[in-house]
Amino acid sequence: MQSSPQFVGIDLGTTTTGLAWIRPDGNPEIVPNADGERLTPSVVYFDPHEDVKLVGVAARDSGDPDRTVQLIKRHMDDPEFTVSMDGRIWTPAEISAIILAKMRRDCSQIIGPIEDAVLTVPANFNELARKATLAAGRIAGLNVRRIVNEPTAAALYYAHAQKLRGRIMVYDLGGGTLDITILEVDDHGIRCLASEGAGRLGGSDFDERILELIADAYQSAHGVGLWENELERRRVLQSGEDLKKMLSKLRQASETVGSQRGGVARIELTREVFEAAVSRLFTRTILLVEQALASVRFSPQDIDHVALVGGGTRMPGVRRMLKDYFGTEPKTCGNVDECVALGAALFAMKGADVEEVCNHSYGTLALVEDAATGAETYANTIVIPKNTPIPCEQSQTYVTSEDNENLIEVEITQGEDSDPKYVDIIGRIALKVPPNRPAGCEVTVTYRYDENQRVKATVRDERSGKTTEVAISYEGAGVLSDSEVEARREAFDSLRIE
Ligand SMILES: Nc1ncnc2c1ncn2[C@@H]1O[C@H](COP(=O)(O)OP(=O)(O)OP(=O)(O)O)[C@@H](O)[C@H]1O
Ligand SMILES: [Mg+2]
């Protein structure tokens, strides 16, 4: 047992969470939880009898879907999402904090006290989801030194363990998300060139497809549906996931399912039928690969290695598809679902050598004059384009449009489109300026994008020289203010989490 506080990496996954540390010999290692599991299912169960929250396999197998929360990571970007349990409202950050608190408490029994951590997030996580992840770490009692993108952490692991160098494409198919990232790795460090992601494309979508196959087979054999409520549906979904995993090893597999109405049935499925049923999902992943290549004007031949990350890449169909596309066998490691946590622990040591890019464009809404027609339209103007290396800072100057304007309002956007309809407004700035000035006064907005991919803006009124710093804040039932985060952090110490 070590006594000095440990610096760990934590992969807070949609389906599983892993924690790694750096052994005294310099190699990263997964630290198991107190139940002996290397990866902890990201599931929380609120027990109705004792005031205890279960996390992990016990929570997943609890058998009460009404009191079980899973896939919470999919809601980290939703300002309105909350979970109501026993008269208390839980935000996604707090649910995630319960998982992180279990990891911190369990693993510190093995490696000593844990205080500082690097947390990972999908590359395409937006501002709000990153903020919620930082809050989750803080509430769980961690000092989050940095959040790093999952593919970057994985690339760091591959560079360390397999000495991969050159242009690497990380193909990360996890439980809930797909991330495609192109990085340049040399002996000095890692540079991220481009990143594309789909927040709603992961292993659980494959499970939903297999669930349909099972349900259809059962319905045609027994003439009745396989489930009548959510608990029954989740049980079949679990069987479907087991079947999917078996089909990664075998060409044909079967699962026993049943309902009280139709009785027990053995469902046989071949890999061929499964692959045909999920072919659309496979195609969507390749479209994202093409998009990532196009964004840096690369052809498949420009990539030296494709590195597999995430449990979903165990599917032989994924490997075959990538081999066909790139003409070379993708690289894998024995622990595709652990390498993000292992890389995050390495990042704790090598953080300074990593350069990431911003994964969304940031801009402002302003009146824009069409040079040809003179017509004015309200449009999104991009200030920091997607894939700009970070940290970065960019300014843009606007002019006031009316005489006597004494309140300048700027809306900060996240998104690629020039049409305001298709971008998110993530913040509003209101700057008071002295009255009685003509139209045409200049206002400069400067965006700073820090290494955690959080955005800050300052607005400077050029005539008065007045500058205002604006931290982007969100509103919604699912968002915690900074003071609420602190209050929750204190309250968490007394929670029973197992
Ligand atoms: N042998 C296998 N064959 C097919 N799929 C598998 C296999 N093993 C694990 N998976 C799938 O991998 C997914 C979990 O992968 P992983 O643990 O990498 O995801 P995660 O990190 O929790 O999610 P995310 O990265 O999206 O947040 C699950 O959907 C699981 O069913
Ligand atoms: Mg993952």
394-423 confidence digits (pLDDT tens): 988 878 777 887 777 778 888 889 898 999
Select the CATH number that applies to the domain covering 6-149 from these four: 3.40.640.10, 3.30.420.40, 3.40.1280.10, 3.40.190.10.
Answer: 3.30.420.40
Looking at residue 471, what is its pLDDT? Answer: 66
What's the whole-number average pLDDT of the chain? Answer: 90
Looking at residue 139, what is its pLDDT? Answer: 97
Looking at residue 350, what is its pLDDT? Answer: 67
Residue 288: HSE in the Cβ half-sphere, 13 Å Cα cutoff: 26
Alpha carbons 55 and 33: distance in angstroms, whole number: 10
CA distances (Å), origin 202, targets 178, 250, 497:
6, 21, 28
What burial class does residue 471 get, using C-beta atoms within 10 Å of its C-beta: 0-12 exposed, 13-18 middle, 19+ buried?
Answer: exposed
Using one digit for the tens of pLDDT, what is the confidence trace for 315-372? 999 999 999 999 999 999 989 999 999 999 999 876 657 788 887 888 888 777 777 7
Q: Are 498 and 54 in contact (CB under 8 A)?
A: yes
Residue 333: HSE in the Cβ half-sphere, 13 Å Cα cutoff: 26
Alpha carbons 322 and 308: distance in angstroms, whole number: 10
Place of tokens 């069987």: 239
Query: Is the pLDDT at 2 greater than 60, yes or no?
Result: no
Does the beta carbon of 15 lie inside 6 Å of ligand 1? yes
Q: Separation of 197 CA from ligand 2 center, angstroms?
A: 12
Alpha carbons 427 and 449: distance in angstroms, whole number: 14
Q: Are 109 and 2 in contact (CB under 8 A)?
A: no
Q: Separation of 274 CA from ligand 2 center, angstroms?
A: 23
Using one digit for the tens of pLDDT, what is the confidence trace for 439-479? 888 888 888 888 877 778 888 888 888 888 876 677 789 99
Parse the chain into domains and list their residue ranges. Answer: 6-149, 163-332, 362-471
Query: Is the pLDDT at 1 greater than 70, yes or no?
Result: no
Q: Is the CATH number 3.20.20.70 carried by domain 163-332?
A: no
Q: How confident is the model at residue 386 (pLDDT cuts 50, 70, 90)?
A: confident
Alpha carbons 72 and 81: distance in angstroms, whole number: 10
Q: Separation of 104 CA from ligand 1 center, angstroms?
A: 22
Q: Which helix or strand (DSSP H or E) is residue 348 part of?
A: helix 339-350
Strands 354-357 and 189-198: what pairing? parallel
Rounded to 5°, angle at Cα 16 from 218 and 313: 70
Which of 291 and 429 is assigned the larger pLDDT?
291
Ligand nearest to the CA of 281: 1
Token pair for 85: 């349990």
Does the beta carbon of 413 lie inside 6 Å of ligand 1? no
Residue from 11, 14, 75, 250 to probe ligand 1 pocket by mutation (most atoms less than 8 Å from CB): 14
Q: Give which of 203, 283, 201 is closest to 243, Cα–Cα.
A: 203
Looking at residue 354, what is its pLDDT? Answer: 79
Q: What is the mean pLDDT of residues 281-302?
A: 96
Q: Separation of 172 CA from ligand 1 center, angstroms?
A: 10
Q: Are 492 and 140 in contact (CB under 8 A)?
A: yes
How many residues are recorded in the chain? Answer: 498
Token pair for 131: 């903020």
Alpha carbons 341 and 314: distance in angstroms, whole number: 18
CA dihedral of 142, 77, 201, 259, whole degrees rounded to 10: 90
Alpha carbons 446 and 444: distance in angstroms, whole number: 6
Query: Is the pLDDT at 3 greater than 70, yes or no?
Result: no
Q: Are 354 and 189 in contact (CB under 8 A)?
A: yes
Q: Output the CATH code of domain 362-471.
A: 2.60.34.10
Looking at residue 103, what is its pLDDT? Answer: 97
Looking at residue 352, what is its pLDDT? Answer: 55
Looking at residue 88, what is its pLDDT? Answer: 93
Does the beta carbon of 177 lie inside 6 Å of ligand 1? yes
Strands (E), 370-473: 376-384, 389-390, 392-399, 407-414, 424-432, 442-449, 455-461, 466-471
CA dihedral of 371, 374, 375, 379, whole degrees rounded to 10: 30
Does the beta carbon of 248 lie inside 6 Å of ligand 1? yes
Does the beta carbon of 310 lie inside 6 Å of ligand 1? yes
Amino acid in the structure at residue 344: A
Does the beta carbon of 40 lie inside 6 Å of ligand 1? no
Q: What is the mean pLDDT of residues 90-118?
A: 96
Q: Going by C-beta distance under 8 Å and a sequence separation of 6 or more, which residues neighbour residue 404? A: 435, 436, 437
Does the beta carbon of 311 lie inside 6 Å of ligand 1? yes
Alpha carbons 400 and 398: distance in angstroms, whole number: 7
Residue 435: HSE in the Cβ half-sphere, 13 Å Cα cutoff: 0
Answer yes or no: same fold for 6-149 and 362-471: no
Q: Going by C-beta distance under 8 Å and a sequence separation of 6 or more, which residues neighbour residue 11? A: 17, 18, 19, 20, 120, 150, 153, 338, 340, 341, 344
Give the residue whose CA is nearest to atom 4 of ligand 1. 245
Q: Going by C-beta distance under 8 Å and a sequence separation of 6 or more, which residues neighbour residue 254? A: 243, 266, 267, 268, 269
Would you give the DSSP letter of residue 102? H
Does the beta carbon of 199 lie inside 6 Å of ligand 1? no
Using one digit for the tens of pLDDT, what is the confidence trace for 145-196? 999 999 999 999 999 999 999 999 999 999 988 999 999 999 888 899 998 8
Q: How confident is the model at residue 227 (pLDDT cuts 50, 70, 90)?
A: very high
Rounded to 5°, angle at Cα 308 from 124 and 451: 35
